[in-house]
Structure 1
Amino acid sequence: MCRWLAYSGSPMLLDSILYRPKHSLIDQSLHARMGVETTNGDGFGIGWYMDGGAVGTPAIVRDVGPAWNNRNLREIAGHVMSPLLFAHIRASTGTAVQQTNCHPFRHGRWMWMHNGSIADFHRIRRDLCLAVDPVLFLDIEGTTDSEMMFFLALTFGLEDDPPGAVARMVGLVERVGREQGIADPVQMTVAVTDGAAIWAFRYASGGRARSLFYSSKVESLRALHPEVELLREVSDETRLVVSEPLGDLPGAWNEVPEGAYGVVRAGADALHTFTPVPA
C-alpha cells in the first residue's frame, strides 16, 4: 500500500516535517513498520499551500522514483515553508508507476491522498467511471482507484460537504463492487483538504482498515515534555495526521478508530463516526 502525512499549523520548513523526525516519512519509504509493504518506492508527492492571504491553488510536486534519494525533494524541503502540507509515498497496488498516478491529487483548491485500494478495481472501473460527472471526468489524468475515489467524491458534493461526499462515494463503490461479487470492496485511509481544513477518514468494508494516527494537542505535549524545543515553537493549533507515528515521544500519538473520520481546523478539531451512505 502507501504511507502519508498531513500537517496543519505554524508555517514550517518542509524539511522539519519530512526528514527530521526519527521515523520520518522519508525513513518510512524504506522502513515502514505498519504498512503492508516495508518499502514504498513507487513514487512520491508533496502538495502545499503558501502562508498568508486567501487560500489558493496548492503547489504539487510528484515523481515516479523513490523519495529516499530524490535530490529535488531534498532541495525543495530545505527552502519551502508552509502552514499546510500533504506528503505521500506510494507502493502501487497494480496500476502503473507513472507521475499522474502519484498522490496527492489536485482539483482547484482541493487535494486528496489515499492509502488502501478498491478491491478488483479493474472489474468495476468502467461502472465507476460512468458515475463521475462528465465535466469532472475530463480532468482525470491517471489510472488509479485513488484518483477515481477523489473524482467520485467531487461528483457527490465534496466542495460543500466533504464527510457526506466521501460517505456517498464509499456507498457507491461498495454497491457496485458487491453487485460484481466483491465482498469487501473498500480499504482506505484518506486525507482531503481545501487549504483551510483537513478531513481524514479510516474505513474498510471488512472492518480491518489500514493504520492511521493523529497527534495530541500541543499544549498537552508541552506539559508532558517541556524539554522539547519544537513544542515551544509551534502554535496550539498545530496537528499531524499520519499513517504511522513519526517518533516515539510518549503521549504524542493517538490511533484513529476504525470507521471514523476527523476534522482538523482552527479551534474546532473533532472526531466522528464514519458510515457509508447509498449514493
Structure 2
Amino acid sequence: MCRWLAYSGTPVLLDTILYKPAHSLIDQSRNAKLGVETTNGDGFGVGWYTDESSTPALLRDVGPAWNNRNLRELADHVRSPLFFAHIRASTGTAVQQSNCHPFRRGRWMFMHNGAIAGFHLMRRDLSLLIDPALFADLEGTTDSEVMFYLTLTFGLDRDPPGAVARMAGAVERVGRDHGVDLPLQMTLAITDGACLWAFRYSSEHASRSLFYSSRVDDLRRLHPDVAFLRDISQESRLIVSEPLDDLPGAWNEVPESSYRVVQPGVDELYPFAPVPAGSPS
C-alpha cells in the first residue's frame, strides 16, 4: 500500500508540510505506523499548482523519498496553495516512474492508497471500459491509474463524486464476474486545483486509514504556541493517510464509506457508496 497527503490553503513551501512535521511523510516512508507496510520506498511523487498554469506540475521518481536530493532541494523553493504528495509501496506492479502517483490529466490530479484485489485477472476487462479517446494516454501498469482513467471516463469533469462512485461500481461488478467478492480497497484524493475530494471506501467496509485536520481557529486555541498555525488562513487544511504529529485535537478520522469535500468556505462530509456500472452519469 502507500501513504499520501493533500494540502489546500495559504500558499506554503513544500518543506513545511513534507519534511518539518514530527511524523512527516518523509518519516512515514521509513516508519509508517498505520499502513500495511512500515516502509514505503517504491517511488514517490509530488504535484502542485501555480498561478501561471491551471495544469499541475509533477515530480515523480522511482527511488525512496527519504534520500532524494532533488526532492529535498525542491521542497525549499516551491510554494503553492495546493500540494499532493505520495509515497509508494508497490502491490505487485513494476517500480517505474509511470507507476508513481500522483497521476495527471489536464487540470486533474489523482492519488490512491489501496488496491484492486485480483487486478491481474480483471485488468483487461477494466481497461476495456476506459473511453477509447483516453486510453492512448494510459502510461503505467497500476490498478490506481486504471481507476483514475475510469473516473475520467465516467464523468469526472461534470460530477467528481458520481464519477468515483461509478468507477467503484464498475470495479466491484467486474470483480464479482471474476469470482473476487471484495475487490476494492481505496482511500483516494482528486483535485482540479480549486476543490479537493477525498474518499474512504472498501468492499469489505474496513478501509485504510484517512484523517483530516481540525479547523485552524480551533487549533490555535488548543495550541497557541505553534508558529505554523499563526501564518495560515482559516481555509487551510490537510487530509492525510496518517497524522503528521501527535497534537491533541488536531486530527479527525474520515468515517468509513464517506468522502470529504475541501472547498472555499465550509467543507462538507457525505456518505459514499458505489453506483452500479451503466447508471446515468
TM-score normalized with structure 1 length: 0.98
Partner of 1:270: 268
Partner of 1:14: 14
Partner of 2:24: 24
Q: Provide the C-alpha distance between the structure 1 equivalents of 2:232 and 2:180, rounded to a whole number of angstroms.
A: 46
- Amino acid paired to 2:159: D
Q: Provide the C-alpha distance between the structure 2 equivalents of 1:228 and 1:246, rounded to a whole number of angstroms.
A: 14
Partner of 2:192: 194
Partner of 2:119: 121
Confirm or deny that 1:41 pairs with 2:44: no
- Amino acid paired to 1:249: L
Q: RMSD of aligned C-alpha atoms? A: 0.7
Q: Provide the C-alpha distance between the structure 2 equivalents of 1:181 and 1:199, rounded to a whole number of angstroms.
A: 31
Q: 1:137 aligns with which of 113, 135, 138?
A: 135
- Amino acid paired to 2:117: A
Deviation >2 Å, runs of 4+? none
Partner of 2:62: 64
Q: Provide the C-alpha distance between the structure 2 equivalents of 1:155 and 1:227, rounded to a whole number of angstroms.
A: 47
Partner of 2:109: 111
- Amino acid paired to 1:32: A
- Amino acid paired to 1:157: G
Partner of 2:153: 155
Q: Provide the C-alpha distance between the structure 1 equivalents of 2:202 and 2:160, rounded to a whole number of angstroms.
A: 18
Q: Provide the C-alpha distance between the structure 2 equivalents of 1:123 and 1:143, rounded to a whole number of angstroms.
A: 13
- Provide the secondary structure at the position in 2 that maps to 1:131: coil
Q: Provide the C-alpha distance between the structure 2 equivalents of 1:211 and 1:183, rounded to a whole number of angstroms.
A: 22
- Provide the secondary structure at the position in 2 that maps to 1:56: strand
- Amino acid paired to 1:153: T
Q: Provide the C-alpha distance between the structure 1 equivalents of 2:222 and 2:32, rounded to a whole number of angstroms.
A: 27
Q: Provide the C-alpha distance between the structure 1 equivalents of 2:157 and 2:147, rounded to a whole number of angstroms.
A: 14
Q: How many residues align?
A: 277
Q: Provide the C-alpha distance between the structure 2 equivalents of 1:196 and 1:48, rounded to a whole number of angstroms.
A: 12
- Provide the secondary structure at the position in 2 that maps to 1:236: coil
TM-score normalized with structure 2 length: 0.98
Q: Provide the C-alpha distance between the structure 2 equivalents of 1:268 and 1:219, rounded to a whole number of angstroms.
A: 13
Alpha-carbon displacement from aligned partner over 1:113-135 (angstroms, at most 9, x marks no partner): 00000001010100001100000
Q: Provide the C-alpha distance between the structure 2 equivalents of 1:19 and 1:224, rounded to a whole number of angstroms.
A: 23
Residue 268 of structure 1 and its aligned partner are, at CA, apart by 2.9
- Provide the secondary structure at the position in 1 that maps to 2:55: coil
Q: Provide the C-alpha distance between the structure 2 equivalents of 1:30 and 1:125, rounded to a whole number of angstroms.
A: 30
Q: Where does structure 2 lack aligned partners over 5 or more consecutive residues?
A: none
Alpha-carbon displacement from aligned partner over 1:189-238 (angstroms, at most 9, x marks no partner): 00000000100000000111000000000011111111111111000000
Q: Where does structure 1 lack aligned partners over 5 or more consecutive residues?
A: none
Q: Provide the C-alpha distance between the structure 1 equivalents of 2:73 and 2:227, rounded to a whole number of angstroms.
A: 24
Percent identity among equivalent residues?
71
- Amino acid paired to 2:49: Y
Alpha-carbon displacement from aligned partner over 1:36-66 (angstroms, at most 9, x marks no partner): 000000000000001x46x610000000000
- Give runs of aligned pairs for residues 80-91 of structure 1, distance below 5 A: 80-91=78-89
Residue 255 of structure 1 and its aligned partner are, at CA, apart by 0.2
